[in-house]
Every structure is written in structure tokens, then in C-alpha cells.
Structure 1
Amino acid sequence: MRSIVERAQRVIIHVDLDAFYVGVELARRPELRGLPVIVGGPPGSRGVVLSASYEARPFGVDAGMPSSRASRLCPRAAFVTADFAAYRAASTSFMAVLRDFSPLVEPLSLDEAYLDYSGCEALTGPPLTAAELIRKRVFDAIAVTSSVGIGGSRLVAKVASGAAKPDGVLFVEQGQEASFLAPLPIRKLPGIGPRAQASLERLGIRTLGQVVEAGEDLLKQHFGARGAELHQRALGIDAGAINAGRPASRSISKASTFATDLRDEVRLRAALLEHCEGVAAEARRAGKRARTITLQLRFDDFQSVTRSTTVMPPTASADVVFTTAAALLAAELKADARPVRLLGVALSNLGDGAQLDLFGEQKEREALDAALDDLRARFGSGVIRRGASSRT
């Protein structure tokens, strides 16, 4: 009976590469090992930090920070320009290793993925043995260390891999989920952002154990139906399955940092249109349509906002993407007059195949997009532009 119960238990493994972009660069430039290394824009540019080595982080350097500030915080850091072709190649090798351990692998990004290891023990041993072998195989393949979390759910495995960083393994055995999570600050729970954290802290709740102690009733009073879900997740309860069909990239995005901060809505719309055309074309090439369109703005004081909306039917039309994102932009600029430093757009909730189109409007838009794609492929990306992007 014990063996039957054990076979029924889920074993989820979350593998997260440590400082991935930096790790790939160090594999190519081993003379930089042990030094503070920053991958991103040069210190004299308006670029941002994509990744920082663990030697740079004690100085306060973190991803998303302006490179100029990172340079001031850590003047001895070696800055390396990002090479996304190399990162994609390393990610492909990383995912190939994981698929040797389970047929159910869900990539979350270039540098992290879930595996459903349930029932795979006969092939590569107990979970801890498999985790150590994964880490060795990954390092042998791409010379980047990894951290591994093991648990009975996606949630627990992901939190465990974070606790194991850098270059470690943590196995939270079934029945120990609540005690593992209880002392952790609420921000460690996936899905808890700054706003939710602030709301919980106003209630005197600062740890996941205190979330459980508060009880479902109190949480539902303040957060509605999400309060019950929050209570369950703080206990480590998460029935989410591994989606092995999910692509490595869950979104398509483009963004740019302006040479000078902009207030001019015409110029912002022109930049937005160029990005919308780019993400829509990439979605069409991948055979995808998006349900969610997101606008990203970063202001001159480095504060960022994102605004999203859902569209139906799902789309890969540049016209629909731009119309939707432009409305989000207009609303944000009306509410906030600060100069804009960075502007971006993203498509997410991507799906395959044709969608219901009752009035034929989507078919007409896609015919126009296909014609534009053909012209650009034959004569270059600048051969034809929509009205807004041709303004100066």
C-alpha cells in the first residue's frame, strides 16, 4: 500500500539557472570569474542592467536598474553587452538536458523550467539524485550553475529553488509545505506584488504563516474570492499542472529607451506604432495570436507602469494591437504628465490557429498585414510604413 501511495504523489522540479546572462558570458570569458560583472547597456548609455553577477549584487546592483546608476554603485564592475543569440543557444541546450529526465517539461523563460518528475524515479533515481544529476548535466553542457527546487506542486518547487540560490538544491517533502512557507516574507509567494504586499501589511500580515493564521474569512473580506486562493497558496496547495506544450517564450515584446525623455504624444505614438508592427509581425511568423496587449512605460524618475487589456478575438493584427495600445497610452498620458524614458508593448496569452471572425474584419486586417509582410520581406523593413510611424 505504501508504494501505491508514493507513486500517486506528485513530484515537481523547478530548475532556475543562476544569473543566466552573466553565466553565459563567464563561460566565454573565464577571466571575469570572481569579479563583479554586469550584462546590459554600457555605463555611459541610457541602457539598463539585464543581469548582475553575485559579486556585483552586494553593491546594490540589480536587474532593471539604469546602467549609469549601476556604474556609480559598483565602479569596478565589468560591463558586457548582451548577446541574445548566445543566450538562446544556451537555453536550447539547457532545455534538451531537462527533457532527458521527464517528457513533461514546461519552459517559463530562457533560464527556468518546470519538470513533472512523477513516476520517473525508475529511470534516473529519487528526486534528489535526479536534481543533482540535472545540475551536473546542465553545467557540463553550458557551464552555468543552476538552483533546483523540488516539491509536490509548482508553487512549492519554485519557492524552494529561490531558497536554494545560488547553486543549490532544496527538497520540500510532502506534508512539510506549510512549515516550509510559514516563516517566509509574503513577497516570496509567487503572485504577490507590491500592491498586495502593502495591503496585507496594513492588516499586520508580514509572513506566509500569518496569512494562514488570518484565516479564509478575513482574507475574503478584504480580497474577495482571491482571499481563499491566497490562503490555500500560503499552505502550499497548488493543483496547477505542468503544461509541456507551452513555448519557451510566453510573450512577445519590444521596447526602446529614448535618447532624451519625451513628452510629445505624436512622437510617442510613432514609436509605439513601430513596436506594435514588430510584435504583431513576430506573432504572425510564429503562427500565434494574442489575447492580452500590454503597454509598458518608464518615466524620467525611473518609475515604471504597465497597463494591459484583453482583446477578443485573439489577434496578430498590427492595426488592432496599435489601436488598443494607443488607447492605453492616451489614458496614461492624460493621467500622468511626466516625461517618458522607455516605451514598450507586449503580446501575451498566446494561442495557435484561427479564431471565430463573425464579420470578416479579422480576415481583412490579416490580408493587409500579409501584403505588408511580403513587401518588407522583398524590399526591406522601411519600404512602407503606416501613417503614425512616418511622422517626424
Structure 2
Amino acid sequence: MTRKIIHCDCDCFYASVEMRDDPSLRGRPLAVGGQPDQRGVIATCNYEARAFGIRSAMPSGQAVKLCPDLLILPPAMERYREASQRIMAIYRDYTDQIEPLSLDEAYLDVSDSGRCGGSATLIAREIRARIAADVGITVSAGVAPNKFLAKIASDWRKPDGLFVIRPDDVDAFVAALPVERLFGVGKVTAERLRALGVDTCGDLRTHALADLCDRFGVFGQRLYERCRGIDTREVCPDRERKSISVETTYTRDLKTLADCEAALQPLLRQLDERIVRARRGEPLTIAKVFVKIRFADFSRTTAEAGALGVDPEQCRQLLGEAVARRRRPVRLLGVGVRLLDAGAARQLRLFDDLPAAEPA
């Protein structure tokens, strides 16, 4: 059976919520993120700001140089989460097969949905209209037979667009795609492909699977499948969280281990709060704790160890280990936990429940 997958992606989500709540912000270059004088970065920006070349993850100082009139607002995560919850509730009216990728992005499998006569296109159209009316922001959507194509389709007519790739159109559509549109193909891989005379997915199809695997390793298999529009991944409603972490970039470098230890304390409190919040929605089993550092020269290191929970003393030891690797001022400090996968966690609980063996 041909599946019906919808990929929904809110348009410049954080900025859209800000413009919804304060209409006077509309029409002017707007970004959400950290301030330039605090080594901040841009989390997202509206399309007026993008016209100046501003993009997500750009240093705020660089963004202001590109657009001196840029307004940068601090993130308001509670409002963003509230908007996301309302959007997810709308999705659930159409299917329970929902795979959230973030607050503003999700896959929906509507193959078995009876809404809108079973038409994925009409479902996507209705979802977009409801979100615009009820939540006050716009969503772009892509409809296709698989996740790979649905994600490409949602970006095809951004912002506030809907694009449908029907099963009969898949082959021709994918053949004309530039290879840069394939997930995982960055500048380096694209240059390697161009050196082979490959500019489009149609060009890529002339290379045998064995040849692509020889040149690109395991990624060669992915290239072979995607250039033919093949993606067998299912929409996974129970997408597992793999880690929880917090981090801060400091206005002034932390110059000593004592400075870093003092900065670690509020991060540990934030991490505890985030873990408690995550456990309200799902069972979590901690497997490791880690400390992440970015030094003043932008080099990075991470120290981690097995753990059953967040022990401040263990985190301080990891911090000392990480700082000693470079002995340079620290511009970013983070702390987090890696989680045991649900299957392994269930197995551990199974054995924990066994009664102790009686003495012979």
C-alpha cells in the first residue's frame, strides 16, 4: 500500500509567535536569540531579516552588521511550547501516527485516516487553515508517499505553502532534484559528487550501488536509495529522547577552574528542572552524565562517565578533567545526561524484579 505522509513545518516559528503576540513587529526585520554583546546566536528570524542574509545559528553580532535595524528578542520558551501543544492537538484530530521532530516540525502518517475522505492533500490543507485560525501562525506542508519526499515538499513553497508529490510523479520529480537537496549532502560531499559529473539525482542514478558504497561508505546506500525516491522509514510516534542537556555561552570567558565550578551550579539546577519536566511525559533512565566545554579558541571537548543520576560531585570531577585538557579560558559550558534506550531500560527492570536466589 502506498503511504500518505505529511510533513508540517511552522514558518520561522519563534518569530511568528512573537509577531502574533505583538502585531507591531510585523514587517520589520526580527530575530529571536541571544544579544550581540553577550556572544548570542540567532535561533530563528523572520523573512524580512532573511532578506539581509541572516540565518539560524549565525552569531548575533554578525547579524546586526548585516542588518543594523535588526530587532533581536530573547526566547520565550513557555509561549512557544504552548503554541506547539495547540498545534499537536490539531494533528491528533487527524491521526495518532505523529512523529514530532521539534516544537515546530512533525511527520504525520494519514494513510489510514478517514478524515477529508482519506485525501492527504485535503487533510494538509485543513490542518494549515486550522492552525492559522486557532493558533495564529502559518505552517508549510508537504504531502508525499514517504518521509524523505514529504520533507522536501514542505520546503518547496515556503512560507505558508502546500506542495504535493503524487506517487506517479515521484520518479521525474526526484530525477531533476539537485543532489544538494538530499539530506546529508553538504558542501564537501556535493563537491565530490560534482567531480564525478553528478549534479542531479538523475546523474547519480548512473552510478552502481557498489561504486557509491566504495566511494562514500555506508552513506553510499543512502545516496543510491534517495536518488530513486526510496525511503522505507516509518513515522515513529514513540521517537525516543536520547539526551537532555543545558548550556550557556558566557559574555566573559571563564578563566579558572573555580570560575567554571561556580558557573556549573546554576546549570545543574536547570538540568534537574529539565529532567523533571521530561519525566512527566515519559519514563527516563539515565545511563551517562557529561560535561561539554568550548574554549576561547573555539576548540571543544566533552568528558563523560556512566551514571545513575546527576551527582554534582561527579560533574565537578568531569569538569576538572575537561578543563585540564586545554587549560584555556572557557566561553561555553554545558552539562547533560545520555539516556538508556527504552528496550534496555525495560530489560534492566525485568531483572531487578526477580527475587534474590535463596541460599542452598
Q: CA offset at residue 110 of structure 1? A: 0.4
Write the letter of the residue equivalent to 1:169: L
Code of the aligned partner of 1:137: R
Match of 2:356 in 1: none
Query: Do residues 260 (structure 1) and 256 (structure 2) align?
Result: no
Task: Choose the corresponding residue for 2:140, options 123, 136, 147.
Answer: 147
* 1:172 counterpart = 2:168: no
Other structure's SS at 2:69 match: coil
> Number of residues paired by the alignment?
346
C-alpha distance in structure 2 between counterparts of 1:16 and 1:225, whole Å: 29
Match of 2:48, SS state, is coil
Q: Which residue of 1 aligns with 2:284?
A: 288
Secondary structure (helix, strand or coil) at the match of 2:99 reads strand
Does the CA-based 8 Å contact 1:106-1:242 persist in structure 2? yes
Could you tell me whether the CA contact under 8 Å between 1:150 and 1:171 is conserved in 2?
yes
Q: Match of 2:58, SS?
A: coil
**Partner-residue secondary structure (3-state), 1:150:** strand
1:104-115 to 2 correspondences below 5 Å = 104-115=97-108
Aligned equivalents of 1:251 and 1:359: distance in 2? Answer: 24
Shift of 1:288: 1.1
The answer to whether the 8 Å contact 2:94/2:115 transfers is: no
Aligned equivalents of 1:300 and 1:307: distance in 2? 15
CA drift at 1:55: 0.5
- Indicate the SS of the match to 1:59: coil
Alignment match, 1:189: 182
Residue by residue, what CA displacement relative to the aligned partner does 1:74-99 show, whole Å, maximum 9, x if unpaired? Answer: 11122222111100000000100111
| 2:96 corresponds to 1:96 | no
Change (3 A) 1:27 1:348: farther
Instruction: Answer with 292-301 or 126-135: which moved more.
Output: 292-301
Question: TM-score normalised to the size of structure 1?
Answer: 0.74
The one of 309, 334, 344 equivalent to 2:334 is 344
| Displacement after TM superposition at 1:48 (Å) | 1.7
Question: SS at 1:163's partner residue?
Answer: coil
SS at match of 2:226: helix
Letter in 1 for 2:166: E
- The structural deviation recorded for 1:230 is 2.5
In structure 2, stretches of 5+ residues that fail to align are 353-360
Q: 2:199 and 2:316 mapped to 1: Cα distance?
A: 41
For the residues of structure 1 that align with 2:261 and 2:180, how far apart are their CA atoms? 35
Residue 55 of structure 1 aligns to a residue in which SS?
helix
Aligned counterpart in structure 2 of residue 87 of structure 1, from 69, 80, 83: 80
Within 2, Cα distance between the matches of 1:116 and 1:67? 38
Tell me the secondary structure at the aligned position of residue 253 of structure 1: strand
Structure 1 CA distance for aligned equivalents of residues 56 and 323 of structure 2: 28
Deviations 1:87-115 (A, max 9, x none): 00000001001111112111111001111
Give per-residue Cα distances to partners, 1:41-76, cap 9 Å, x unaligned. Answer: 234432221111000012121111222221221111
Pick closer, same or farther for the CA change 1:68–1:233 going to 2, 3 Å.
Answer: same
| Percent of matched pairs sharing the same residue | 35
Task: Answer whether contact 1:284 1:316 (CA < 8 A) is retained.
Answer: no
TM-score normalised to the size of structure 2?
0.80
Give me the whole-angstrom Cα distance separating, in 1, the residues matched to 2:95 and 2:231.
Answer: 20
